[in-house]
Structures are given as structure tokens and as C-alpha cells.
């Protein structure tokens, strides 16, 4: 199981780790994640799938 930390995911999204935490707590769009103790982890495959879906969503708003 290939996992990524919140820091790694925030770097991919080009946002700060603090912003990523805020997005998660506010229920804003973020890749699926799960907790292990106090750590939040993301499955690499799910992050890639989520990013692909977001690319499709943002592309549909071009007018």
C-alpha cells in the first residue's frame, strides 16, 4: 500500500500544509484520506485518481 503524507499531497497541490488541513476540516475538495493515530495519510493511487477527476472538472468550466 503506497501512501503519502499531508505534506506530500500539499506539495503536489501547490498549497501549504496549513491550507490543506483547513480544506480537510472545512470539508472542501481534497483527495480521500484516512487517519492512522494522529497522522493523516493518502493512498497514492487515490490521490492520482482525484487529481485526474479535478482536471476534468476544471476543464469543463472553460468558456
Q: What is the pTM of this model?
A: 0.83
Q: Is the pLDDT of residue 63 over 90?
A: no
How far is C-alpha 10 from the geometric centre of its chain's CA atoms? Answer: 7
Q: Is the pLDDT of residue 4 over 80?
A: yes
Confidence of residue 1 (pLDDT cuts 50, 70, 90): confident
Which candidate, 41, 35, 51, 32, places its Cα nearest to that of 6?
Answer: 41
| pLDDT one-digit tens code per residue, 18-56 | 999 999 999 999 999 999 999 999 999 999 999 999 988
The beta-strand segments (E) located in the chain are 3-5, 34-36, 39-43
Amino acid at each position: 500500500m503506497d501512501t503519502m503524507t499531508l505534506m506530500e499531497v500539499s506539495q503536489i497541490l501547490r498549497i501549504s500544509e496549513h491550507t490543506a488541513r483547513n480544506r480537510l476540516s472545512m470539508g472542501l475538495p481534497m483527495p480521500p484520506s484516512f487517519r492512522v493515530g494522529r497522522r493523516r495519510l493518502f493512498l497514492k493511487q487515490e490521490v492520482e485518481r482525484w487529481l485526474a477527476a479535478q482536471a476534468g472538472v476544471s476543464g469543463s468550466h472553460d468558456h
